[in-house]
Amino acid sequence: MPPQTRYAASGDVNIAYQIVGDGPIDLVFVPGFVSHLDLQWADPRIARFLEKLASFSRLILFDKRGTGLSDPVAGPASLEDRMDDVRAVMDAAGSERAALFGLSEGGPMSVMFAATYPERTRALVLCGTFPTGVDDPEDNPSGQRWVDVIHTVRAAAEHWGEGRTLAYMAPSRDNERERIGRGIFERSAASPKMAQTLIQMVIETDVRDLLPSIRVPTLVLHRADEFLPVEGARYLAEHIHGARLVVLPGMDHIPFYGDAEGYAEEVEEFLTGARHAPVSDRVLTTVMFTDIVGSTERAASLGDARWRGVVSLHDELMRAELERHRGREIKTMGDGFLATFDGPARGIRCAQAVTDAVQSLGIELRSGLHTGECELVGDDVAGMAINIGARIGALASANEVVVSSTVKDLVVGSGISFSDLGTRELKGVPGEWRLYAVDAIETPVSRELVADEREKRLSFT
């Protein structure tokens, strides 16, 4: 019998999860392409593998949004939203800190979570996964082999529900009887449209910029002859500080098949033998710089007293939107703000919301955002990412939100669109940086708040 299924709220989506075992280590299993919490227990090989993990951990399982027992979704979700599902499941399960087992498509989600929430990540196990899904052989560590992978996956998805994914997921078990069972699993785990959507999300995924930010013990596991190229695993291990790469014999991509016992033992040895990782003082974060355009001239025209009133109202609007978008105010700088976010899409939406709101005060903002590794210094932050964000903000025009290519790549699937501004040199920052302007987006600005501020403005202008 499968364990009890519960639901965690992640925004307006319900994520199905289960808890197995009561070991001293919380281990979150982040599934690959598709999963189904109940059906996986009907396969004795999957059940044995999961029970092995649960023998030394409190194993937390879940179905990604749009798959299995979790809520269906209308379209693709951003990597940020999918990562937030992991956080929501951990919160619901009462897990303050856990090791993450990121399988296949679940690997990039786990990477982003570990970089963003190092204080909640005990260790990272990346299994049969990849750093980027870009289907350009010139821009993928696996070259033409990755393009062939995408072709294979797409061909199988054209016949979704027939069990054809078994041919590359577990070729050692590819026979007529097993394909029938695999077909039932496919139809139950995702719709044909969702399967196609997931493939597109894989292609648009790229976490290479995040790898140097990982500061937790990391194990990269891969089978030598599986369909995902081992070059991707080597790239992950080479770019994550202190990561250990273990290449196991075998051709099956799914760890439940082949030498599943040996696979699980590698994970157990790594997690139970690892030292307790100290909480990192360096985290991946999105920084936002805002600045009032033409503040000197505006102050001169209004006079000091009235200008202070306008700035005060600006600050109130800013703090309201920061709270709404889970931002953290770091400091004010005259007529500007420095804030951080644990997700780039929230940062963009906050910047756009504030830009729209302050126009009721007769002022205009410029904003810049960048996602990178920052050092926590008390209540402040430091590091090159801060300098980059400041330089980007300075290049923005009135009512414009400008972001780095890192931010743009991380919000794929969020519905936010951009205009390419080309490459620029940033003062004091090496190299050239490609920048993008955020196109107009709908933002949840409080109508009541804006109306209230518009009334207050009358006494200052």
Residue 451: alpha-carbon gap to chain centroid: 35
Please tell me the distance from the alpha carbon of residue 119 to that of residue 97, in angstroms, as a whole number: 7
Which tokens belong to 272?
Answer: 């139970």
What mean pLDDT do residues 152-177 have?
92
- Residues present in the chain in total: 461
Angle at Cα 200 formed by Cα 195 and Cα 204, nearest 5°?
A: 145
- Segments in 250-362 forming alpha helices (H): 260-273, 295-302, 304-324, 344-358
State the Cα–Cα distance between residues 132 and 147, nearest whole angstrom.
12
110-124, 369-383, 444-458, range with greatest mean pLDDT: 110-124
Give the DSSP letter string of 356-423.
Answer: HHHGGGT--EEEEEEEEEEEEETTEEESHHHHHHHHHHHH--TTEEEEEHHHHHHTTTSS--EEEEEE
Neighbours of 172 (CB within 10 A): 13
H/E segment holding residue 288: strand 282-292
Distances (CA, A) of 236 to 78, 101, 137, 198, 254: 21, 15, 17, 22, 19
Q: How far apart are CA 385 and CA 391, in angstroms?
A: 10
Residue ranges and CATH numbers for the domains of the chain are 6-273 (3.40.50.1820), 282-457 (3.30.70.1230)
| Nearest in space to 236 (alpha carbons), one of 225, 248, 247, 226 | 247
Q: Which of 163-167, 245-249, 375-379, 450-454 has the lowest mean pLDDT?
A: 450-454
Contact of 112 with 26, CB cutoff 8 Å: no
What pLDDT score does 282 carry? 82
pLDDT at 445 over 60: no
3 state DSSP class of 444: coil
- Going by C-beta distance under 8 Å and a sequence separation of 6 or more, which residues neighbour residue 411? 78, 80, 344, 345, 348
Q: Are 156 and 165 in contact (CB under 8 A)?
A: yes
User: What single letter denotes the amino acid at residue 441?
Assistant: I
Q: State the chain's mean pLDDT as an integer.
A: 90
pLDDT of 386 over the 90 cut: yes
Q: What is the mean pLDDT of residues 422-437?
A: 92
* Burial zone of 429 (CB within 10 Å; 0-12 exposed, 13-18 middle, 19+ buried): middle
Give me the pLDDT at residue 115, please: 94
User: Looking at residue 444, what is its pLDDT?
Assistant: 52
Backbone angle region of 374, left / alpha / beta, with phi > 0 → left and psi within -120 to 50 → alpha? beta
Residues 287 and 339: their CA atoms lie apart, in Å, by 6
Indicate the helix (H) or strand (E) that contains 6.
strand 6-10
Residue 376: the pLDDT is: 83
Instruction: Give the model confidence (pLDDT) of 258-313 as tens digits.
Output: 889 889 999 999 999 744 444 557 889 999 999 999 988 888 888 888 988 899 99
Q: Which residues pair with 341 in a beta bridge?
A: 286
Compute the average pLDDT of residues 426-430.
86
| Residues with Cβ within 8 Å of residue 183, at least 6 apart in sequence | 161, 162, 163
Contacts of 436 (CB under 8 A, 6+ apart): 402, 403, 404, 405, 407, 408, 418, 419, 420, 421
So what's the pLDDT on residue 75? Answer: 76
Residue of 456, 434, 453 whose CA lies nearest to 317: 453
pLDDT, tens digit, for every residue of 231-252? Answer: 999 999 999 999 999 999 999 9
Q: How confident is the model at residue 334, as a pLDDT?
A: 74
- Give pLDDT, residue 110: 97
Q: Give pLDDT tens digits for 98-127.
A: 999 999 999 999 999 999 999 999 999 999
Q: What radius of gyration, in Å, describes the C-alpha atoms of the chain? A: 24
From residue 295, alpha-carbon distances to 101, 292, 302, 364 in Å are 50, 6, 10, 9
The number of beta carbons lying within 10 Å of the beta carbon of residue 181 is 15
Supply φ then ψ for residue 281, to 5 degrees.
-100, 10
Model pTM score: 0.81
Copy the structure tokens of residue 53. 């993990």
Contact 380, 44 (CB under 8 A): no
Q: Give the pLDDT score at 460.
A: 45
Rounded to whole angstroms, the Cα distance separating 240 from 126 reads 11
CB-based burial label for 154 (10 Å; 0-12, 13-18, 19+): middle
CB atoms < 10 A from the CB of 442, how many? 10
